[in-house]
Amino acid sequence: MTIIKADHLYKTFRIKEKEKGFKGSLKAIFKPKYKTIKAVNNISFEVEKGEIIAFIGPNGAGKSTTIKMLTGILYPSKGEVSVLDINPIKNRKKLAYQIGTVFGQKEQLWTHLTPYDNFKFFGAIYDINEKVVEKKINEFRELFELDEFINVPVRNLSLGQRIRCEIVASLIHNPKVLFLDEPTIGLDPVVKENIRTLIKRLNKEYKTTIFLTSHDVGDIEKLCKRVIIINSGKVVLDDTMENLKYHYLNKKIVEVKMKEMVNLDNEKGITILKDKGYNLKIEVDTKKRSVADAIKLLNPDNILDINISNTPLEEIISDIYKKEAKK
């Protein structure tokens, strides 16, 4: 069942341009110049119920703009959007009751109130019965381990605690879709892991569809089964994580410790990454040469220790970004 549908979506912004210096400032008053930017340029995709989807791309790729169009915050310049069969622009308020949003860089909580009072507040604005809100709070209190700080004003919470509360606040009304825009930004690895576990549990226990943007490859790798990569406002890849790894993992990193030095210069399909005499780090392009073949070249009897690994996902993604930028 399709939950989110973006069909040939465009968003252009008109931005004021100013020439440099004081003269430019004066000129801008009387003769303002504008530049049109295509933030989203013909994007189409669909998200199925219960999916956790990673929507990634470099800065300025159009991720947040797309999320804002999906949640009814921005009007698309062209194209159609529907979330849960609701048009976010025409029925923004109706959609608001069905979705939750967390923008990692924007606070939606009242900083002077406690998380408990905040949750009650969100319950009220979503027209939820007080008893139901209370029940929900108790449920999330346990799931998100909030006991320690539920009665501490939000302004006194750590970033990790605050993000947990932000997520809970966006879940009080039981949304069917949760939009998370960089939820782990600025968090330490332990808290990141904690948030990821919670998101996973949320998806498993409540069947919430999760639409996630992040720059953190760990988020994507550990949470998502499908990834959409956008760059310069266009979808450059829409595939499963498995396929992404399978198609792009045609390079293996081989690190060896040897008894005798071996010369691999000018060998087809082999790139030397690091050569410290007896210690060698090479990249094998498996399309041109098999790993076994590369090991044969090194002579198995000559190898004291060996480590074969995949190219890190981070590099794969950054390669995709770079290839698109070259185009």
Partner 1 sequence: MRKYLYIFKSEIMTNIQYIGNVLFGFIGFFVMMFIFLNLWQAIYDDPNELIAGYNMNQTIWYVAITEVLWSIISGRKYTKKIVEDVKTGNITYNLNKPYSYIGYSIFNHLAGCFIRFLVYFILGLLLVFIFLGSFPSLDIVQILLVLLTIFLATLINTLLLTFIGLFSFIVEDSNPFYWVYSKLILVLGVMFPIEFFPPIVQTFINYSPIYVVSYGPARLFVNFNYSDFISIIIAQLIYLIISFLLCLLIYKKGVKKLNVNGG
Asked whether position 104 contacts partner 1 by CB under 8 A, the answer is yes
Candidate list 3, 52, 95, 298; residue touching partner 1; CB under 8 A: 95
Site for partner 1 in 10-29 (CB under 8 A): 13-15
According to DSSP, residue 57 is labeled: -
Burial, 160: exposed, middle or buried (Cβ in 10 Å; 0-12, 13-18, 19+)? middle
Answer for which of 106, 274, 287, 326 binds partner 1 (CB under 8 A) is 106
Q: Is 105 exposed, middle or buried (0-12, 13-18, 19+ CB in 10 A)?
A: exposed
Smallest separation (angstroms) from partner 1 to the CB of 5:
18
CB nearer to partner 1: pick between 119 and 248? 119
Tokens of 38: 């295509």
Q: Is 64 in the site for partner 1 (CB under 8 A)?
A: yes
| By CB under 8 A, residue 291 contacts partner 1 | no
The window from 7-15, 44-52, 284-292, 315-323 that contacts partner 1 (CB under 8 A) reads 7-15
Q: How many residues bind partner 1 (CB under 8 A)?
A: 43
Residues between 115 and 154 with contacts to partner 1, criterion CB under 8 A: 117, 120-121, 124-127, 153
Nearest distance in Å: CB 61, partner 1: 10
Parallel, antiparallel or unpaired: strands 251-258 and 270-276: unpaired
Q: Is 59 in the site for partner 1 (CB under 8 A)?
A: yes
Contact residue for partner 1 among 6, 99, 137, 172 (CB under 8 A): 99
Residue 8 in the binding site for partner 1 (CB under 8 A): no
List the one residue out of 62, 58, 43 whose CA is nearest residue 5: 43
To partner 1, the closest distance from the beta carbon of 226 in angstroms equals: 21
Q: Does 240 bind partner 1 (CB under 8 A)?
A: no
Of residues 71 through 90, those in contact with partner 1 by CB under 8 A are 71-75, 88
Q: What six digits make up the tokens of 37? A: 């930017």
Measured from the CB atom, the residue of 24 and 312 that comes closer to partner 1 is 24
Contacts of 223 (CB under 8 A, 6+ apart): 52, 54, 196, 199, 200, 210, 212
Question: How far apart are the C-alpha atoms of 202 and 199, rounded to whole Å?
Answer: 5
Closest C-alpha among 177, 195, 217 to residue 52 = 177
DSSP run (H or E) holding 99: strand 99-103
Based on the shown chain and the rule CB under 8 A, indicate whether residue 30 belongs to the binding site for partner 1: no
Q: Does 275 bind partner 1 (CB under 8 A)?
A: no
Question: Is residue 143 a contact partner of residue 165, using CB atoms and an 8 Å limit?
Answer: no
Q: Which is nearer to partner 1, 9 or 294 (CB)?
A: 9
Residue with tokens 């794969």: 316
Q: Shortest Cβ distance from residue 92 to partner 1 (Å)?
A: 6
> What is the rounded (10 degree) CA torsion for 216, 218, 223, 225?
90
Retrieve residue 234's tokens. 């266009």
Interface residues with partner 1 (CB under 8 A)? 13-15, 37, 39, 59-60, 63-65, 68, 71-75, 88, 92-93, 95-97, 99, 101, 103-106, 108, 110, 112-113, 117, 120-121, 124-127, 153, 181-182, 213
